[in-house]
Structure 1
Amino acid sequence: MAEFLQKRGKKRNEDGIGSVVDFLLANARLVLGVGGAVMLGIATLAVKRLIERATSPPGDKEEVEKVEQTSIEESWKEVNWTNSSPKLLQRANRAALSEPLPPTATAPLHDGAEQEPLRSDVKMIHLSSTLQEKLLDYYRNHTVIAENEVFQSKQLAEAVCAELQEFLRTKHPEMPFAAMHLSGSLVDDLQAVTADHVCFMAPVVLEPTLWRFIPGEETVLRNPRFWMVRRKALEYFVRGSSPWDRFIVGGYLSSTMFIESLHKILVGSINWPAIGSMLECVIRPVVAPEELKLEVRHGQNNMSITIFPVAKMEETVLLAVPLLKGPVENLWLQSFYTVETHKLFDLDSRDSGTRRCCLKILKGVCKGHPSLSKLTGSHLTHIILHLCDTESDWTETALADRFQQVLEELIGYLEKGVLPCYFNSTVNLFSDLQEDEIDEMGYVLYSALGAPEALLQKCG
């Protein structure tokens, strides 16, 4: 950012105010560190914008605005994030908030008495109170879903699930799934804004004597999140001893074969128009290859249903997901949804905390902001769980502080490109994100760090 602004300053006026500002920015890292330099840069851009607009000919103002916008967007990527940390960001932000007000904003002098600066702790309380009110208002009026909407969506999803289960039992006995059931944030009252998505879990019941889970560290990818399911004892129990042997590839249970088989059934075998007519809705399977999804429209409401073949042994839950192809088609994704949800509920039940409230607000923010849409509920839940290890006060009065801390922690994880799973630190929950996606999310969140209520306004 500093280098970019230096070039613009020299072009505008070698000896002007812009050059002085650029010089300060160029040396800001030496004094403030990376985090402080970025915050100074963002604030200084606004000042430079006013100066350059005032000194530019009328015909050049539009061009100046375009260049400034580009400089702001490039500022996040230009910073060397490997040298910063969440603690640095937190210190920089708090330092900016605790700066004394300019003379025009302070109380007038009386009878020659010295002017008393506004105490930083009073100012922080005022700002937190304002954010607190906005967060609670956003939660009540934007995030919370009406009970009748949740009930109707769950009821409709359960009816569709029952129809799918019955069809598979009748027409495809070679795939003896256990009782299918609903799962996800809609079921656990963790969905935000609208009741628009739910999951169908199709349990694959495996015989313990015939199958074994292989941890991700022992697979070809060495990725702790992607496991394999190995067929064992073939010398004693030949192929065909298990109904799932038909899905074996190279001695392992193939997640890809499950997805392909179910996709053909969803798209080509089931009479969805007839089922939809009976349930008074419109059901359409997603025809994109390897997408096990149904789109359901009921009146003005739309709901997306994702179907997951799921294998479970003891506490390990594996999902067949269309993430990988080729020689790694036998990999299964380890899911932490059940344990992370139970942990969140347990913590809130112990102290009547607002962790779930904070999570719903964050979900609403990410849902309403395109640049943050890649952040899932699982990402946000694990960040909150990590924060719970260091912050014990999750009362309603502390909501604003915890919300801001979650943003700071999130920025810290984004700068590293690593979000450790709360239950297994070797698992990186950001491994499926692209570098440009991380950069974009980091920039958006960092820009809003000093005024997080702006995130609520974008999607309110």
Structure 2
Amino acid sequence: MAGPGGDGLGSVLDLLLANARLVLGVSGAAVLAIATLAVKRGFVDHTHIPSMCLSHQLIDRATSPREEDDPKAEQKSLEESWVCPAPPELPQVESSTPCCLTLQEKLLSHYSIHLPMSEEQVAVAHQLARSICAELQSFLQNKCPELPFGSLFLSGPLLDGLGALAADHIHFMLPVVLDATLWSLIPGEDTVVRNPQYWMIKRTDLEYFPRGRSPWDRFLVGQYLSSNVLNETLHKMLVASINWPAIGSLLGTVIRPLVASRELRLDVKHDQVELSIGLFPVVEMEDKVLLAAPPEGLVENLWLESFGRAEVLKVKELDAGDAGARQHCLRILNGVCRIHPALHKLSGSPLAHVILHLSTTESDWAEESLATRFQQVLEELVGYLENGVLPCYFNPKVNLFCDLLEEEIEEMGFLLYRAVSEPGLLLTEK
């Protein structure tokens, strides 16, 4: 906040935040933390802040005394005195990383120690994934020869190099090949959920080309290709029709499909690596990449637009143009989200889009600027969480935070708010 007295107000706000948990509890303190940072930095556009995040309301609430006659408040105060005692003095433990390291040095040290897999592990993960992919492709061709599936291909952080270098998430992309003369896309804004990221695929010209003309007509619900029905069919195959014990024995692994889940996922255990493989039917039409990943609920005809391929290409293109460290920064950030459960939902696309947005205003992404950019990404994330909106870099109508719960936003915001002033907190494994 600019102007005389700004430092004094900042000190008052810091003192207020330090005592916020006792007054508001963890959830309220999380929201106050985000709002406080917004007030101190002066970047919040109050016309877009949800009522739950209005700084003045939170500060008034935080500074208001408890109702003296409220026995529940007294009981809560007593409980908190047990839950949050002053921490006893702990013995000094020598840190493996000298405390005098700069943030730049800490980031590089964290990256070298925690993120990379050995070359041998990477090779084993790749080979296992390719072998399982080939077995699944052969099964689908034999089991469903009438369905024009395309060739399965691998995707995910281990393949594109933008995630934390771990093998626990690999994607099998299963192309669903549609005849463009029989199918058309319905924009997300025109669907029942009014969400620009979820599309519908409509069967057209039924009066001239009746049901049965397309092999995919068996998955119609109404006049729309149902992502849910397709996923259910594939799930039954994964669980009941494929002899995974035999395939696993052949490959020296144990392969188990997830039975009690809507996800199409395989857990693979090998003596050197463990993989979590997700299967995603994908439709590519009209320059859109749509995944059979409908939102939770009763709507079963929706297809999620994926920007994953565009993210990878754009980040690498920008780095190639200025020898930048965007990919390096993104790998570290994804690694941070892996070790902090509260931040799991920020990994992947959201982080890539924050970096892409930041690249439009910050041109210096040299290796020596890594710490500065890392801290800026944290500040940007706090701002986006404050507003509850992270616009998609490729389509500003899409809010990449639309599926986050209020509690998740609060928890993320509180942790990241603290990390803005002390980024090293995020490099500590939880």
> After TM superposition, is the score higher than 0.5?
yes
Give yes or no for the alignment of 1:351 onto 2:322: yes
- 2:199 pairs with 1:224: no
> Are the aligned partners of 1:317 and 1:334 in contact in 2 as well (CA < 8 Å)?
yes
Amino acid at match of 1:234: L
Q: Is 1:41 matched with 2:16?
A: yes
2:286 corresponds to which letter in structure 1?
E
Q: 2:392 aligns to what? A: 421
Contact 2:294-2:301 within 8 A present in 1 as well: no
After superposition, the C-alpha distances for 1:181-219 in whole angstroms (9 at most, x for unaligned) are: 101111112231522110000100111100001110111
- Looking at structure 2, the residues matched to 250 and 177 of structure 1 have their Cα atoms a distance apart, in angstroms, of 22
Q: Which of 69, 84, 91 in structure 1 is aligned with 2:38?
A: 84
1:134: how far off? 0.6
RMSD, matched Cα? 2.6
> Secondary structure of the equivalent of 2:278?
strand
1:40-439 correspondence to structure 2 within 5 Å: 40-42=15-17, 45=19, 74-78=28-32, 81=35, 84=38, 87-88=41-42, 130-326=102-298, 328-439=299-410
Q: Tell which deviates more after alignment, 190-199 or 417-426.
A: 190-199
**How far apart, CA to CA, are the structure 2 residues paired with 1:237 and 1:379?**
42
- Give the Cα separation in 1 of the matches to 2:416 and 2:276: 28
Residue range with higher mean Cα deviation, 79-88 or 232-241: 79-88
Post-superposition offset of 1:85:
7.1
1:234 is displaced (CA, Å) by 1.0
Q: 1:207 to 1:443 in 2, by over 3 A?
A: same
Q: For CA contacts below 8 A with separation 6 or more, give which structure has more relative contact order.
A: 2
| 1:300–1:151 CA distance, 2 compared to 1 (3 A) | closer
**How far is the alpha carbon of 1:79 from its aligned partner?**
5.7
Query: Per the alignment, in what secondary structure is the counterpart of residue 349 of structure 1?
Result: helix
Paired residues, number: 372
What is the CA–CA distance in structure 1 between the aligned matches of 2:11 and 2:315, rounded to whole Å?
Answer: 33
Separation (CA, whole Å) in 2 of partners of 1:312 and 1:86: 46
1:121 maps to: none
Change (3 A) 1:36 1:424: farther
Residue matched to 1:25: none
Describe the superposition over 1:39-65 as per-residue Cα deviations: whole angstroms up to 9, x where unpaired: 4434x559xxxxxxxxxxxxxxxxxxx
Does 2:413 align with 1:442?
yes
Residue of structure 2 in register with 1:102 after alignment: none
Secondary structure at 2:210 match in 1: coil
SS of corresponding position for 1:350? helix
- Aligned identity (percent) is 54
User: Which whole-Å CA distance do the structure 2 matches of 1:345 and 1:229 have between them?
Assistant: 31
Counterpart secondary structure, 2:357? helix
Deviations 1:322-379 (A, max 9, x none): 52342x2100000000001100000011111110110011111110011111212111
**Structure 2 SS opposite 1:311:** strand
Q: Is the 8 A contact 1:34 1:84 kept in 2?
A: no
TM-score normalised per structure 2: 0.81
Give the C-alpha shift of residue 301 in structure 1.
Answer: 2.0
Instruction: Mark the structure with the bigger radius of gyration.
Output: 1
User: Is the 2:37–2:417 Cα contact (8 Å) retained in structure 1?
Assistant: no
Aligned-pair CA distance for 1:77: 2.6
Alpha-carbon shift at residue 284 of structure 1 (Å) = 0.2
Q: What code does the residue aligned with 1:184 have?
A: G
Query: Which piece of structure 1 moves more, 182-191 or 277-286?
Result: 182-191
SS at structure 2 position matched to 1:137:
helix
Counterparts of 2:10 and 2:149, CA distance in 1: 52
Counterpart CA distance in 1 for 2:417 and 2:198 is 32
What is the rounded CA distance, in whole Å, between the counterparts of 2:167 and 2:371 in structure 1?
26
Q: Unpaired runs of 5+ in structure 1? A: 1-29, 47-66, 91-126
Indicate how the Cα distance of structure 1 residues 79 and 156 shifts in structure 2: closer, same or farther if over 3 A, else same: closer
With over 3 angstroms needed to count, the CA separation of the structure-2 counterparts of 1:32 and 1:264, relative to structure 1, is: farther
In structure 2, the gaps of 5 or more residues are: 45-98
Q: 1:206 to 1:403 in 2, by over 3 A?
A: same
* 3-state SS of paired residue (1:163): helix
Taking a change above 3 Å as real, the CA distance of residues 244 and 35 of structure 1, as seen in their structure-2 partners, is farther
SS in 2 for 1:241: coil
Kindly state the Cα deviation for residue 172 of structure 1 after the two structures are TM-superposed.
1.8
TM-score by length of 1: 0.76
* Contact 2:175/2:282, CA 8 A, preserved across alignment: yes
Deviation at 1:78, TM superposition (A): 3.8
Distance in 2 of aligned mates of 1:220 and 1:174: 31
Question: What CA distance in whole angstroms lies between the structure 1 residues aligned with 2:357 and 2:161?
Answer: 21
SS of structure 2 residue aligned to 1:310 = strand
CA distance in 2, matches of 1:394, 1:362: 15
Deviation at 1:315, TM superposition (A): 1.7
Deviations along 1:372-413, one digit per CA (max 9) or x if unpaired, are 112121110000000000000000110010000000000000
| CA pair 167-455 structure 1, distance change in 2 beyond 3 A | same
2:203 and 2:365 map into 1 onto residues whose CA distance is: 46
TM-fit CA distance, 1:149: 1.5
Q: Report deviation, 1:451.
A: 1.0
> Aligned partners of 1:408, 1:331: CA distance in 2, in Å?
34
Q: Displaced runs of 4+ in structure 1, greater than 4 A?
A: 30-38, 67-73
Counterpart amino acid of 2:262? E
After superposition, the C-alpha distances for 1:274-328 in whole angstroms (9 at most, x for unaligned) are 00011111100000232200000011421100000100113200000152342x2
Aligned-pair CA distance for 1:236: 1.3
How many angstroms apart in 2 are the aligned matches of 1:405 and 1:371? 20
Aligned letter for 1:41? L
